[in-house]
């Protein structure tokens, strides 16, 4: 048995974060049906795993979509505000047909506000919230952290969390509700720790000069002699001491900010004397929060990831395993039924 077994989810296909939320629910055992445009190419890989696709032209047959919604517990959509309303599938329409429906809305800017109708991507939401400006070394331009922070962390995960919260509330109230998940909100939540440091005077604000943004010698990435890298996260004093032990150097007080540039130079020069493999051998037994940087081709071969089964094999290559790990009702990717079988199980004519 899986934790979300028996929950039916109608996923009106959008980009990135919506399918990611649906994937998480499907891994948890929810019965998810993807509803996509006719002749739309089916995305491959993990984002679409565990659920069949029904191709449906909602502009011509919104009534068919409403039939499916009547049988669902959850709806997920990621269009701009107003699109579903114009199709006759907005929250009012759907909840009139199904009062217990959890209506999950995934956008970048949210359902209201001056930018609500603007287009945007991960990089834009990071930029407006102050997050992107914080991902920078001193004197350098910000570096976008792929599209994982706003799209998947502040977007898909936030939507999945909101849906689960609404499902739990429904057990008490008997009513559904709308989940307005906006990536600008999610990114801001993910930055809570940095906002807290700023309030405490521990984050001056100038990028590349703070304890977690490569400003400190104990939290940075250093090049090795073979052109690879070692990330250092030796924040606590015991790890700071073991970092120096492993490198064979003696450094000043780690919180002497005025000397951080000098200490960073010393640490960088030390790491540049050996290969990544040699430094891994040195630091693995020291427990100093110093580990190797692996690329995507190397990660599946890592002993720790392999032991946990963090990445699993799939026909088109490695993909992340289902997570988190529940001891009694574990998550696991499912194999999608035929779309006709899913519709029949939902009581919707094929």
Both structure tokens of 42: 């089916």
Closest Cα partner for 181 from 311, 62, 18, 55?
18
Across the strands, what pairs with 53?
Answer: 34
Residues with catalytic roles? 121, 151
Both structure tokens of 48: 């679409």
Number of residues that make up the chain: 350
């Amino acid at each position: 048995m899986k934790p979300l077994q028996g929950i039916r989810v109608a996923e009106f296909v959008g980009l990135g974060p919506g399918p990611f939320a649906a994937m998480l629910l499907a891994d948890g055992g929810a019965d998810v049906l993807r509803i996509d445009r006719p002749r739309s190419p089916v995305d491959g890989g993990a984002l679409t795993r565990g659920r069949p696709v029904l191709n449906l032209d909602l502009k011509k047959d919104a009534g068919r979509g409403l039939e499916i919604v009547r049988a669902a517990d959850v709806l997920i959509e990621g269009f701009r505000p107003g699109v579903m309303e114009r199709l006759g599938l907005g929250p009012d329409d759907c909840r009139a047909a199904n009062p217990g429906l959890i209506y999950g809305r995934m956008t970048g800017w949210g359902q209201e506000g001056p930018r609500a109708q603007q287009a945007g991507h991960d990089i834009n939401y990071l930029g407006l919230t102050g997050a992107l400006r914080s991902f920078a070394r001193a004197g350098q331009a910000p570096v976008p952290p792929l599209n994982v922070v706003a799209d998947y962390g502040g977007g898909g995960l936030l939507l999945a969390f909101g849906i689960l919260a609404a499902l739990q509330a429904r057990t008490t109230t008997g009513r559904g509700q709308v989940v307005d998940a906006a990536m600008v909100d999610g990114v801001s939540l993910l930055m809570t720790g940095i906002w807290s440091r700023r309030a405490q005077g521990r984050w001056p604000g100038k990028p590349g000069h703070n304890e977690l943004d490569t400003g400190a010698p104990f939290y940075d990435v250093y090049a090795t002699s073979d052109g690879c890298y070692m990330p250092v996260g030796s924040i606590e004093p015991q790890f700071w001491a073991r970092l120096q032990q492993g490198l064979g150097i003696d450094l000043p007080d780690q919180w002497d900010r005025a000397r951080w540039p000098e200490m960073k130079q010393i640490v960088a020069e030390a790491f540049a004397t050996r290969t990544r493999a040699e430094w891994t051998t040195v630091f693995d037994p020291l427990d100093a929060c110093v580990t190797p940087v692996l690329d995507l081709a190397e990660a599946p071969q890592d002993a720790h990831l392999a032991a946990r089964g963090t990445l699993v094999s799939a026909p088109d290559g490695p993909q992340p395993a289902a997570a988190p790990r529940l001891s009694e009702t574990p998550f696991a990717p499912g194999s999608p039924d035929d779309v006709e079988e899913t519709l029949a199980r939902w009581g919707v004519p094929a």
